[in-house]
Each structure stands twice: as C-alpha cells, then as structure tokens.
Structure 1
C-alpha cells in the first residue's frame, strides 16, 4: 500500500451521517436502540503497514455492520505519529466529540495512565489493540479491554518454520557446514513487549528443537522497512556470507533486509540468499513469501483483530451479546491465533485474506 493510499485510509472518516449522537458519558437504557454510534480510533503510526491493514479492514467491516445492525457507524481515525502526548490529546478530542468508545493502538504501552484516567472520568470504554498495555493498567477500570494476539506464540511459530526447513534440508541453510546457524536479528522497538518476546521465543524454539545458533549481531529497526535496510548494510559489510539466517520481528523489517541483499546484487533464487523470516503476514509479506524472498512469515490476523474490535464495540455500546465468533477471556481480552505461512500455504492464506 503506497504512502498516499495509507494516508487516505487513515485520515478518512468512515461514513456516515450521524443521526443520533449523544455524549458517550450518557447512560443508554436497554430499551432504547441507538440509531448511530461513534468510535474514536488512534493508531501509533499511520505508516506502519500492519496498522494500515487493520484500519482498512475496520473501515470495511464497519460498512458491513451498518447494514447488519441497522445503524450509522462513524469512525474518527487519527494518527498519533509516534507521540504519546499527541495520542493523549486525541483521546481528549474523542471525549469532547461525543465518541461512544475509543480504540487505542498505544504509542507507549507502559504509559497508558492519562488515557485511562480520561476514559474513566468520562465513562468512555476503551479497547486497546495490537500493542498490549501493562496488565495492571488494564485492571484499573472495568471498561478497559484488549484485542490482539500472543507475542510469545508468534516467536514460537517463526522458530517452527525455520526448524521445519532445517529438518528438510539443513545443509542448504548451514552454508559453511559448521553445524551452527549463524543469524542476525532485526528487532522492533526498544522496550516493546512484542519485540522482546518474539526475539526471545524464536531463539528458544530453535534451540529447544536441538539446533545450535550463533548471534552475529542485532539492531533495533523500529518495525520500519527503510531502517531495516539501513541496519542490514553494516551487517553485510561485517559478516557477508557468514549470515545464514535473518530473523525479523515483522515483515517490513524482513523486507528491508531483502532490499539490502538485492542492493548487493544478490538474487533470492541463488544459493547465497540467506533464510529470512518475518511476522505479520501483511500483503507485501505474503507476496515476498510467494516469490521466495522470505522463507516464511507468521500471520497476525489483521482482519480478525479489526472485526473483533468492532464486534466488541457493538456489544458494549448496543448492550448485546458478543458474536460467538469471539471469546472475551477473563472479561478483558480477545486474542486471535497466529498462523505459520510458507510457500506451501501462502496462496490459500492470500485467498482467505482477500475474502
């Protein structure tokens, strides 16, 4: 998705004339069916590929649910531009505009206090999504929820993809024949829960499966393709063909690594192309698996998260049962499972995602 399209997707407000807009702090009785709902949505960075896909899915699903629920749904989508201060102000604006509920993709998962206090004092429920806040913060008020996935599982599955390939053809990966997998790691953010857990669990899975690894280097690339490409350049200068495996915390960074290899004149079909693994299963990530640039990725269900958020929002605002497709764990969490994606099943995944 190009920059202009992403900006359009996130800047747009999905639908629709607001026929009924009460203050979100007002109490709706079970007997009165609202004619419209208004949801404020703030994402940490509109240029994050996975976030862009979630928002696109959320907008599309909102149009479907307008028909199913017989109401108007307005989504006020804002970009926090990687600033927690900006996001705090956006939460204040959502309240002033009478939003019934807020969906927040936190900039800083450890700094949710201001948003929580604003929400609690104004009786505006909040669904945090994709970037999981600290558990103690989620317990500070009964109207706080989280929709996302288990970061530990994503690292485990990323490791499983590599282990399965090693079991099939270890020699082609262990190019120097020393019986050790030499790797570099591209990590998301310093202190980010998903980044730390994925980095740890992928290595644990590989070593628990009986393979020896050697970390040549690692760098923070902030989930960003261009940064990852830049960070790969000194790796290639220092280690060159010693790099047998590239582990990236998300697809954009995996693709940035591939970009750096291509800039060196390397071809993904050649024997000197290292194994590259990502996480997210974005459209561009799936295409890279299809082309053989990535050995695999781990699907982080953008469609499922978007739909889970809207179904939960509808349940809370309209006072109706949550769709049986989703389970609210501990009264707080909707967790979507990850799925391994390799050349064997990528076409199936792509077809399912386009439905």
Structure 2
C-alpha cells in the first residue's frame, strides 16, 4: 500500500514538473513589425542649401533602411515656402493621407501650436528637426521629439577658428594694425533661436580668448545668399578696407559676402580680402574653404540628422529600442555635434564622408 502511494506521488510530481517545464519553454510570440512606413516631411524652405542636403540624405538613408527592414518606406516631402499657414495645412494633408509619423522643419519655431494639436488629436507622432521648438512646446505631448544640433556650439566653434588664426598670424587679420578686430555680422532671421545664439556665442568665444572686437555693422539676411550679397555690397561702400572679418550665421550668407567682394573687384588671398566664416559645412561652403574664400566653416551634420530622424521614426512606430549609436536625451532630443572645417582638416572630413557613403 505504501509503495502504491509512493508511485502515485512520484507520478503526480513528474506530471506537474512536465507541465511547469512546458510553460517555461513556451516560445515568446514574435514581435510584429509594421508592413510599411509612410512619413510626412515638411521643410521650411526647400531652396535653403543646408535643408536641401538634409532632404537628399533622408532619401538616401531611407533607401538603405528599406533593404534592412524589408518593408517599403514612403517619404511625402512638402515645401512650406516659408509660410507657417501653408505648413499647418501640410500637417492636415499628412493626417488625411494616413502618414504613420510626421517630420516638421518649422517655419516659425514659436508658433507650433496648430501642428501639435493636430498631431495630438490624431495620435500621430511628430519629429521636429533642425529648427528647435520652444522647450515648453515640446513638453506638451509625449510623442513630440527634436533632432538637430546645439546652436551654442556652432557659434563657439566658429569663434575658435578665428581665434586659432589670430594665434598663428594676427597681422594677417588685423590689417590696419590697431590691435582690434573690425567685423561685419550677417544674421539669419529676426528672433530665430539659432541666429541669435550663433551671433552671441561667436563674439563671446573671441572676446573670452582675449581679443578686442569692434562691430562695424550687422544686418538680417534671412539665411539667403542674394540678400547677404546686397547687404555686403552696402558694407563695402561704407567701410571698404576697414572690414577685417565677416561672421555669417550660415554658409549661404557667407557666400553672399564672397559674391559682393568679387563684384567689387577684391580678389581672394589679397590683403583686402577679409576673413570670412560660415556655418553648416555645406558642399558649396567647403569648396569656398578649399579655394581660400572662407577661413573656415562649421559642419552641421546633415547625414547625422537624417539618420537620427529615420532611426527615431522606426523606433517609435515599431516600438523597439533605438540602435546603440543613437542617444535620446531626456526622452525627447537627439543632438548631433558640430565640427570645425578649415583648410587643414577639409580633406580628412571629405575622405571620411566618402567612406560613410559606400554601400
């Protein structure tokens, strides 16, 4: 009788153990990924040279990721033409078209309410890029993000390029020998975050390094090459050889200064040619560095921004973690570092980018 009880108990234990083992080895259900991805892209102005490069890199990077993910990815790219009302309408169109996610390069970074409310009421995540929102606006909903760079760093690095040249050969900049750097400032937009911070931080970097500056003039040129050329032509008339440095908030405006100087008969590399510095490191800006028209520029990573936007978009819609190369700060921000570009490191930067572009 005792043996029968022991056998029965042993059999019950084996049955329970088998059941528990079966539960432990049951396969987890496979992650279900989207079968396709549609992203609405709105750019404040498609004719902005840097933004054109970002759009090119977006399309290029998406082609790479389609192969990796094995799904079709559609980018619906729209130009807002510097019109905030038009951009608000584009957000409505993206919703009607069934976009899974929207990326917005705001026309007016202080007027994002309409876009945010439309996104929130239709549960469509938004990645704002390159033109940073007011921080309080980005906190209004958990599915709002920003991909871009730190404007403060760009101004600091622009200033460092000039300071390094001052240390090497101050007399090459201080043409009149008065120990003061006379400069012209070409600014992006009135009230624009990046424009204000770049203008402030570049001067702070120069003066904190011990150099004395004198502002001859500054003008808003709206990031535009032609507008900058017109402003610079007036500066040349007013100040002539007194202009020792031209600080521009972006490469296009710096190139406008180059155009005006050439039109006035001033030749790059001569004593009358001022030190010109841009920001963005666009292809045309880097060519200006190569030709000696710019002292330098500051690389704004167009491919890095495009990569960050697409990787973040995939993470959001597929509910998967970001790849190890991408850091999401405060659950909201992806920030790409800037880099100085001068005649000394230009070939190294171009070589690295060619390697990155290889399939």
Q: In the alignment, is residue 348 of structure 1 matched against residue 348 of structure 2?
A: yes
Partner of 1:236: 236
Asked if 1:197 is matched to 2:197, the reply is yes
Q: Distance in 1 between matches of 2:286 and 2:175?
A: 26
The Cα shift of 1:65 comes to 0.2
- Mapped to 1, the partners of 2:211 and 2:91 lie a distance apart of 47
Is 1:220 matched with 2:252? Answer: no
- Deviations 1:291-342 (CA, angstroms, capped at 9, x unpaired): 1000000000000000000000000011111011110000000000000000
DSSP 3-state at the match of 1:330? coil
1:32 matched to 2:10? The reply is no
Alpha-carbon distance in 1 for matches of 2:91, 2:153: 31
Aligned to 1:266: 266
1:352: how far off?
2.5
**CA separation in 1, counterparts of 2:137 and 2:175?**
47
Following the alignment from structure 1 to structure 2, what is the Cα–Cα distance between the partners of residues 315 and 177?
57
C-alpha separation in 2, matches of 1:189 and 1:30: 50
What is the alpha-carbon distance in structure 1 between the residues aligned to residue 232 and residue 30 of structure 2? 57
Matched, 1:103 2:103: yes
Distance across 1 between alignment mates of 2:53 and 2:351: 16
Task: Give 1:215 shift.
Answer: 0.1
Residue 303 of structure 1 contacts residue 353 of structure 1 at CA under 8 Å; is this kept in 2?
A: no
Whether 2:72 is the aligned partner of 1:69: answer no
Inter-partner Cα distance in structure 2 for 1:311 and 1:32: 17
| Residues in 2 aligned to 1:106 and 1:30: alpha-carbon distance in whole angstroms | 38
Deviation at 1:351, TM superposition (A): 2.5
- Where does residue 165 of structure 1 map in the other structure? 165
Are the counterparts in 2 of residues 30 and 319 from structure 1 also a CA contact under 8 Å?
Answer: no
* C-alpha distance in 2 between matches for 1:232 and 1:218: 10
Q: Do structure 1's residue 325 and structure 2's residue 329 form an aligned pair?
A: no
Runs of 5+ unmatched residues, structure 2: 1-28
Counterpart position of 2:256: 256
CA contact (8 A) 1:286 1:350 kept: no
Query: Which residue of the partner structure matches residue 92 of structure 1?
Result: 92
Q: Distance in 2 between matches of 1:30 and 1:123?
A: 25
Instruction: Please state if 1:174 is matched with 2:177.
Output: no
How far has the Cα of 1:237 moved from its partner? 0.4
- Name the CA distance, whole Å, in 1 between partners of 2:230 and 2:30: 56
- Counterpart for residue 145 of structure 2: 145
Q: Name the SS of the counterpart of 1:218 in structure 2.
A: strand
CA distance in 1, matches of 2:353, 2:249: 21
Report 1:301-316 matches (<5 A).
301-316=301-316
State the partner residue of 1:290.
290
Divergent runs of 4+, >4 A: none
Bigger-Rg structure (1/2): 2
Partner of 2:133, secondary structure, is coil
Q: 2:313 and 2:180 mapped to 1: Cα distance?
A: 49
Residues matched between the structures, number: 327
Counterpart secondary structure, 1:329: coil
Residue 110 of structure 1, CA deviation? 0.1
In structure 2, C-alpha distance between the alignment counterparts of 1:67 and 1:341, rounded to whole Å: 33
Residue 33 of structure 1, CA deviation: 2.0
- In the alignment, the residues of structure 2 paired with residue 254 and residue 91 of structure 1 have an alpha-carbon distance, to the nearest angstrom, of 33
- How far did residue 31 of structure 1 move? 4.1
Distance 1:136 1:30, change over 3 A: farther
Q: 1:17 — aligned with what?
A: none
What is the root-mean-square deviation in Å for CA atoms of aligned residues? Answer: 1.0
Distance, in Å, in 1 between the alignment partners of 2:353 and 2:78 is 25
Scaled by the length of structure 2, the TM-score of the pair is: 0.90
SS at match of 1:152: helix
Query: Using the alignment, how far apart are the partners of 1:107 and 1:343 within structure 2?
Result: 34
Shift of 1:30: 8.1
- Deviations 1:139-163, CA, capped at 9 Å, x for gaps: 0000000000000000000000000
**Residues 87-112 of structure 1: CA distance to partner in whole angstroms, max 9, x if unpaired?**
00000000000000000000000000
Tell me by how many angstroms 1:32 deviates: 2.7
Q: Partner of 2:41: helix, strand, or coil?
A: strand
Aligned to 2:120: 120
